[in-house]
Structure 1
């Protein structure tokens, strides 16, 4: 087992080793609430890569423009925002915004001496970089997020597909006879930063966008609901040590605020931290962290982190772990990119997404605070439980053919009890 130093037990000395952008903020909050929060919703946007995939558009010969499902989803979220009379106060995209890579290896990793070989086997995405990434897919994604501008605070984190390059490590080559693709690595943030850097029109000068690192690949937001304040931290794929140190510094700047963390690859379908990722950055780079390392070195070390959101693995996952303070950290994974009923109905067999997203409905003003999790399709205009064919359409695609339709639905419609929430977070004056 690789030995990792613990970088986050009270020391932030590492912060002097890299550039950190922290935007001006008001006085640090010692409490998260001055009164009632009211009922409110956080929109969790799963992997949208298939919507903007250049192959899934009419001009590429596909049956319809899949981008329309992305735009419909973003428009619906915008229309349900608190500022528009709805109850959504924050939106977070879990990563894999677009589909294709644009380079064989990014200059930063090349300069560090990394070597690469062609990616053999696997999907079309891995075969070669595509000019369509920056010519079409990134601009299409940007157009979608423009629908959220001015409506609510939001976060975007880079998943593995949102990095510039994907390569195979020659020291761990493919073994086709064993159906093994070899160990892959991703790197490069030029494309992501061209769309979602901290200096982009989405975030520059926004009072709720309170910090960024690595050009916006890691970011922090403050959002409010009623008289309550919350901190959100977005972390890049397999967040490096420097990202975790920066995130710890952000928590230090906003003590007492209930904190949600979004990162792309973290939880598996079984509710455990995902350990089967490929690309597996931490296996090849001592600076990067696997989901387990992120838990051990960061998430479990800060008691105000109570919720972790992720995608990456097709399907759903729900887990709960106890942090070093003895309190529960809930972890929710959702990724609907494999859903393709809309394509099937159009005579095409292709994974699209079908407009599904997660809605996290918070109820914090009661003696038993909770999050009601519901799954909604902006394409069908219905919740999962309102579609009789829901299990028939999706459970086999997402690895749960053995479940009854009712049990499969429970993976997308459930309540998370926040039993220790009031103990951890106090009102002003308490």
Structure 2
């Protein structure tokens, strides 16, 4: 506060689903394009049943999802000179943080940052109570930081001894594993915590940092040149809207904060030229707000203010949870009050119930951030080198096609051009171009999945309505054509859809398929489409879901595996594994939900060729793939994930 103021659904209903979606695609180019599907799950929000637990502080430091807990101004809980002290709300929040830090917690809280104004009056008696509250964190080995606000101290960090420094100074952290040091004054501290398999630096700066303090902070950053930095301080940005109006009637929840006069100093003196700083957090002002600003390197810095001291019970120890999800490239933010959540719902007052969770757009939101891209300037992700083909020829490899060293990127493959089978089994591919197709419908590319062995791919520009494109096929006498894989198999490929992928024009195009229709193979019964090929690994028209539909040897109707929606412009590794009894589809090494448990032995064959990028229906090619296809391998046994083409 300013002093100044068992059988999955597709085996019982799969025919209708696949048939409906396929028919929708065949309706023509007028079919609507399904929007980009969201990756991952929604965040696991705070659970009242968990928040009273206290246990050992053991965050999972390797999980790609972790949480930074933030606690803003708690000053109204500590006004010792007025005999007004209540540690209960803050201690309940501390119990929640401790209880949700373990390996089994969905939150996986790794660190807690307090944003200053621990007390209202800076009185020693107030800090005695603050000391007792934070002792709960100390007793459980919790990792945290604190900083001084204007209600805790006066002047800048050269002020000397204070009740704050005696209670919450660097001596408090001397046994903490995350403590990385303090400046000469003791008012500015640095902390390094481990999360998502890397180290993160958090700076906790005094509410008024002097030149020596800024120089120290700059030195700490330079001493840790590859660490992303979160800057915490008391005063940096303030909200530029009236909290009696916004966000209910007007305003932009993603751009409603402004640098304060002192905040401009912090920006100019420290943030702007230090690209490692990607997120800043402050309290002091209210209501909450956020904005972004471009630093000298042209990268975004996210500037957030969080403060609830003007709410019920002075905020009641409210905490802001920053759920970092490096798999989804998102920070999901929620604001909760563990003290209220710990109360039985029937015992909460109406006002308390309204403050158990704060869910407005400035309190509960997501921040998209490509962590690898944002950190590339100081901690680039090492590019995995290409691996020789011989390394990928695992036992049982029957075909291995890759596209490096055969053509200049951007140039076209000619009709009848050959792509060799690197397994040496004689399953070479030959280009087939449909009549009326542009000369550049199939081109070499150096684009690739980051874990793909070959740093190359093929770009297909195909579709239907009108039918056009080029695809590849094994020869009429290729050994692979007759394989039935009774003992199991693994099929792997890499795929990428462009932004102009369209459900009507491109839905149901196969990445890999086998010629020969179900009816010609004598297949019939539920879920059977007599014209479809006996095997197809395709991308559906329903949100770009990968689907493996195949007719096994042991039955007359198909087994169908479905994956989730795949976003465009990203490379995806797909693997189909059959252990001789069951078939499993994997996306990026993870099994999909719709993997049927029905017995599925081998693959039906009519002795006809395999198609890469082509799909036939009722004996004729009816669509060509649109997008990129990378390394593709077929093995006559089930592989484990550590044998996939993506394996380290």
Given the two structures, how large is their TM-score scaled by the length of structure 2?
Answer: 0.43
8 Å contact from structure 1 (residues 196, 216) kept in 2: no
Aligned partner (choices 193, 196, 208) of residue 178 of structure 2 = 208
Aligned partner (choices 71, 80, 83) of residue 54 of structure 1 = 80
RCO comparison, higher one (Cα < 8 Å, 6+):
1
The aligned counterpart of 2:163 is 191
Aligned partner (choices 54, 69, 75) of residue 43 of structure 1 = 69
| Root-mean-square deviation (Å) | 3.2
Cα drift, residue 78 of structure 1: 1.6
For 2:79 and 2:371, the matched residues in 1 are separated by 42
Q: Secondary structure at the match of 2:89?
A: helix
Cα drift, residue 410 of structure 1: 1.0
The aligned counterpart of 2:118 is 97
The aligned counterpart of 1:244 is 214
Matches within 5 A, 1:351-362: 351-362=313-324
Which structure shows the higher helix fraction?
Answer: 1
Matches within 5 A, 1:199-348: 200=171, 202-270=172-240, 271-275=256-260, 290-340=262-312
For 1:83 and 1:162, the matched residues in 2 are separated by 35
* Shift in alpha-carbon separation, 1:90–1:420, aligned structure 2, 3 A: closer
Cα drift, residue 390 of structure 1: 7.9
* Shift in alpha-carbon separation, 1:205–1:301, aligned structure 2, 3 A: same
Q: Secondary structure at the match of 1:42?
A: strand
The aligned counterpart of 1:12 is none
| Range 264-273 or range 223-232, more displaced | 264-273
Aligned partner (choices 36, 59, 76) of residue 96 of structure 2 = 76
* Shift in alpha-carbon separation, 1:296–1:307, aligned structure 2, 3 A: same
For 1:81 and 1:229, the matched residues in 2 are separated by 17
8 Å contact from structure 2 (residues 157, 185) kept in 1: no
How many residue pairs are counted as aligned between the two chains? 299
- For 1:86-107, what per-residue CA distance to the aligned partner results, in whole angstroms no more than 9, with x for missing partners? 5100110000011114xxxxxx
Which structure shows the higher strand fraction?
Answer: 2
Aligned partner (choices 362, 369, 374) of residue 334 of structure 2 = 374
8 Å contact from structure 1 (residues 47, 337) kept in 2: yes
- For 1:239-296, what per-residue CA distance to the aligned partner results, in whole angstroms no more than 9, with x for missing partners? 11111110010011111111100000111013434437xxxxxxxxxxxxx1101101
Matches within 5 A, 1:361-400: 361-366=323-328, 369-381=329-341
- For 1:66-102, what per-residue CA distance to the aligned partner results, in whole angstroms no more than 9, with x for missing partners? 221121122221222237855100110000011114x
* Shift in alpha-carbon separation, 1:262–1:424, aligned structure 2, 3 A: same
8 Å contact from structure 1 (residues 83, 151) kept in 2: no
8 Å contact from structure 2 (residues 292, 300) kept in 1: yes
- The structure whose Rg is larger is 2
8 Å contact from structure 2 (residues 157, 206) kept in 1: no
The aligned counterpart of 2:529 is none
Given the two structures, how large is their TM-score scaled by the length of structure 1?
Answer: 0.63
Cα drift, residue 151 of structure 1: 3.3
Q: Secondary structure at the match of 1:321?
A: strand
Matches within 5 A, 1:125-144: 133-134=123-124, 136-144=125-133
Cα drift, residue 391 of structure 1: 12
Cα drift, residue 196 of structure 1: 1.7
